[in-house]
Amino acid sequence: MKRYLVQTFGCQMNVHDSRRIEEVLGAHGYEQADELAVADVIVLNTCSVREKAEQKLRSMVGTYKGLKALRPDLVIVVAGCVAQQEGDQLLRRVPHLDLVIGPDNIAELPALVESIRDGAPPRARTVFDLESPRFLVAQPRKEVTSFVTVMKGCDERCTYCIVPYTRGPERYRAAGEIVAEIAHLVEGGVREITLLGQTVNSWHSGGSGEGESEFPALLRRIALEVPSLLRLRYTSPHPRHLTEALIDAHAQLAILPRHLHLPVQSGSDRMLKRMLRRYTHADYVRRIEALRARVPGLTVSTDMIVGFPGETDADFEATLELVREVGFVSLFGFKYSPRPYTPALKLEDDVPEAVKDTRLQALFAAVDEIQRAHLQSLVGKRVQVLVESRDESVPNRYAGRSERHELVHLEAPEGLDPRGALVNVEIVEAFKHSLHGLMEGGVYHAPAPKRAAIRLPMASA
Ligand code: 5AD
Ligand code: SF4
């Protein structure tokens, strides 16, 4: 039996693609390897959105050189965005690499691996499936929550972003196919679906992305046609497509939780313009307010970039101002990193690293404060949790997410396994990033106090 090992970097799209890689190899008789030493095929599914991830890839591929020298029949594959971006060049730069494969060519992987094993020379296969886009169907696994791709690629041209280059233009999956995949996963036990796409809410039923997005209609169709689905999330939407119709869908569909992850990137209009985001600080706030007026108590999280070229203290202050205005309860913050092929490369990366660091820390501190106050305000309240996993270290303790995406650890009644169920939880304590509570009928065990991080020296006898 041949064995594979897939290592994943980057975003949820990559995590999702890695599973498809595992499935296509599985369908061709491969088994998952527990460790590197026994793998016949190693796939590195890469990310190039920020510089760090790419550096990590280069050093990892380097470490496989020795392994390949010991076992020349080992097949080393680079997949994902770095593969798409660099293609043949990567083969030239890394001589012990066998295959470079783009995100749209995953289905071809088993045949390509076989050809390499049969002695074919290293090759790169990075062709976008523009004519007839392919969306590999996800196989059900034993899990409560799962991802389903609805579109791929991106037609935006945010000036800092390499994604339009590595993932190509927008292509949409047919609604019938999406609904069928969700229904199949739900039959297999999945209770929550997160729809995936680079600009997920720009979804259209036809080939062309012109005119207003039809994403709200897709949400309605899923809610109607898969009644046993408990929750429907989506990531990542573009603020431009948070339309009136989408706000209506949020107000009307109980299946949509009261949480939205809506990347904003900056609170400064000058930066937003340079980033080509096509909305202003005020537009963003207005849309969130309109949504909150219809969905009271909705929580919002976001992505933010600090230190984009030309960002001044005043620009960053506008970002902090936006954080306070919207009250983001969590945030992915990044230091701007110049990427190849992006329009922003023409701008000088003029914000010193130390300033980027300071701004990022200030941003995290502002969001932490909001998050802490928000979680504290829930103590004594009852929240609805979709239970996802069991905490192996404590009997009867489980974890899940509330409707507003708070992470909740809960005590379940003795002998009851609530995984996959929506349960009511009385919140007893708030921690820095999570809540702790009691499911109806459960017994509260206060978490053990944290041990000191530094071990004190033992007293000598
Ligand atoms: N530098 C820093 N952050 C970036 N992102 C995308 N491109 C860059 C870049 N060049 C961030 C954005 C995006 C998230 C996935 O990564 O915030 O929403
Ligand atoms: Fe990149 Fe902008 Fe497209 Fe998001 S919307 S993938 S940030 S170009």
- Among all bound ligands, the one having the nearest atom to the CA of 302 is 1
Binding-site residues, ligand 1, Cβ < 6 A = 11, 49-50, 160-161, 263, 265, 303, 305, 334, 336-337, 339
Ligand 1 atom index nearest CA of 236: 18
- What is the H or E stretch that residue 372 is in? helix 353-376
Upper half-sphere CA count for residue 133 (Cβ side, 13 Å): 20
Looking at every residue in the chain, the average pLDDT score rounds to: 92
Comparing 36 with 349, the larger pLDDT belongs to: 349
For atom 18 of ligand 1, which residue has the closest CA?
Answer: 303
Residues 6+ away with beta carbon under 8 Å from 352: none
pLDDT at position 461 over 60 = no
Q: How many CB atoms lie within 10 A of CB 346?
A: 9
pLDDT digits (tens, 9 = 90+) for 129-157: 998 899 998 888 889 999 999 999 999 99
pLDDT at position 456 over 60 = no
pLDDT at position 446 over 80 = no
| Local confidence band at 457 (pLDDT 50, 70, 90 cut-offs) | very low
Q: What's residue 445's pLDDT?
A: 60
| Full-model pTM | 0.92
CB 164 within 8 A of CB 153: yes
Q: Is the CB of 156 under 6 A from ligand 2?
A: yes
End-to-end CA gap in the chain: 57
Residues 6+ away with beta carbon under 8 Å from 457: none
- Among all bound ligands, the one having the nearest atom to the CA of 50 is 1
Q: Which of 156-165, 314-323, 441-450 has the lowest mean pLDDT?
A: 441-450
Mutate to test the pocket of ligand 2, among 161, 162, 170 (most ligand atoms within 8 A of CB): 161
- Among all bound ligands, the one having the nearest atom to the CA of 262 is 1
pLDDT digits (tens, 9 = 90+) for 255-306: 999 999 999 999 999 999 999 999 999 999 999 999 999 999 999 999 999 9
Tell me how far the alpha carbon of residue 14 lies from the centroid of ligand 2, in angstroms. 15
CB 125 within 8 A of CB 108: yes
Tell me how far the alpha carbon of residue 452 lies from the centroid of ligand 2, in angstroms. 43
Tell me how far the alpha carbon of residue 345 lies from the centroid of ligand 1, in angstroms. 14
Q: What's residue 84's pLDDT?
A: 94
For atom 4 of ligand 2, which residue has the closest CA?
Answer: 198
- Where are the alpha helices (H) located in 50-104, listed in sequence order? 51-70, 80-86, 88-93
Backbone angles phi, psi at 176, to 5 degrees: -60, -40
| Local confidence band at 408 (pLDDT 50, 70, 90 cut-offs) | very high
